[in-house]
Amino acid sequence: MMRAIEENAAELLMAMGAAGGGVQRDDGTVRWTIGGSPIDYHNAVVAADLPAAEVDRTIATSLELMQQYAVPGCWHVGPSMRPTDLGDRLVSAGFTHGGSEPGMAVKVADLRPPAVVPGLHVSRVDSEDDLAVWETTLGRGFGEGVKEARWVAETYRRLGFADPWRHYLGRLDGEPVATTTIYLGAGAAGVYFVMTVPEVRRRGIGAAITYAALREAEAVAEYGVLGSSPAGRSVYAGLGFREYCTIDLYEWAPTGTG
């Protein structure tokens, strides 16, 4: 489960970074995509298995790329990454510990149905028009708002609507109120961009759209995986997800960008 959690996220971030024009490195010791996004989370170092003698130099190289492209960036440090003092070395190099994501997984067949939300309809995004609505909805409450939603949607336009990409929109009484993306990779269905607009939160919509999207993926993926926000942990636990690991985020931003 830990491998699937880490690898699914790594594949998604590498694919989105490449579509955004990022510089890719994947040589068996480190894996990253940098320069393709204005969002720190997506200028990402996603894997590392580094000898002690190469760690600081590799961290410095990643930092140089972020500076060269004038973008914020992030090391996603999961349980498979080495050396074990990687976090301390990143902080010494100028990165800041930006928090942790619980890595969670569930067998799709064992998902627990959430409470029914009257008036909610979940549908797959399969056209430019649908994606435009998805973008506007995501921008109302996810991450960096409109800025992030615009970049994510533009990336998805380049990647297309076919597997491994599946995007979903939730409408409440006909009005768009929720989003999610399923990424099929590393033998699992990864859950991303789960967002409910602020006006209708705490009504079970996030759980409902996650459940519907994963159920549709059951034919091609045995397990669902995700990196949760701390606030979302209880929602996913209610669906049957279990926590298997922690992904620590170490962030850097150019001066003046936060």
Q: Are residues 186 and 151 in the same domain?
A: yes
pLDDT at 55 over 80: yes
pLDDT at 190 over 70: yes
User: In the Cβ-directed half-sphere of 218, how many Cα atoms lie within 13 Å?
Assistant: 11
Nearest Cα to Cα of residue 79 among 251, 250, 252, 244: 244
How many domains are there within the chain?
2
Q: Are residues 175 and 236 in the same domain?
A: yes
Residue 138 confidence (pLDDT): 98
Q: Are residues 95 and 141 in the same domain?
A: no
Average pLDDT, integer, range 6-33: 97
Query: Does the residue 94 lie in any domain?
Result: yes
Q: Are residues 67 and 91 in the same domain?
A: yes
Q: Give the predicted TM-score (pTM) of the model.
A: 0.96
Q: Are residues 91 and 128 in the same domain?
A: no
pLDDT at 201 over 90: yes
pLDDT at 256 over 80: no
Nearest Cα to Cα of residue 169 among 198, 217, 136: 136
CATH number (domain holding residue 131):
3.40.630.30
Joined together, the tokens standing for residue 59 give 């961290």
pLDDT band at 230 (very low <50, low <70, confident <90, very high): confident
Q: Are residues 58 and 137 in the same domain?
A: no
Q: Where are the alpha helices (DSSP H) in 96-127?
A: none
More confident residue, 258 or 104: 104
Average pLDDT, integer, range 74-78: 98
Residue 114 confidence (pLDDT): 98
Q: Are residues 87 and 121 in the same domain?
A: no
Supply the range of the domain harboring residue 16.
2-101+247-252
Summary mean pLDDT of the chain:
97
Q: Are residues 93 and 111 in the same domain?
A: no
Residue 217 confidence (pLDDT): 98
Tens digits of residue pLDDT in 128-158: 999 999 999 999 999 999 999 999 999 999 9
Query: Does the residue 257 lie in any domain?
Result: no
**Cα–Cα dist 39/59, whole Å:** 19
Residue 255 confidence (pLDDT): 84
**Cα–Cα dist 217/188, whole Å:** 9
pLDDT at 257 over 70: no
Query: Does the residue 21 lie in any domain?
Result: yes
Average pLDDT, integer, range 230-252: 95
CATH number (domain holding residue 89):
3.40.630
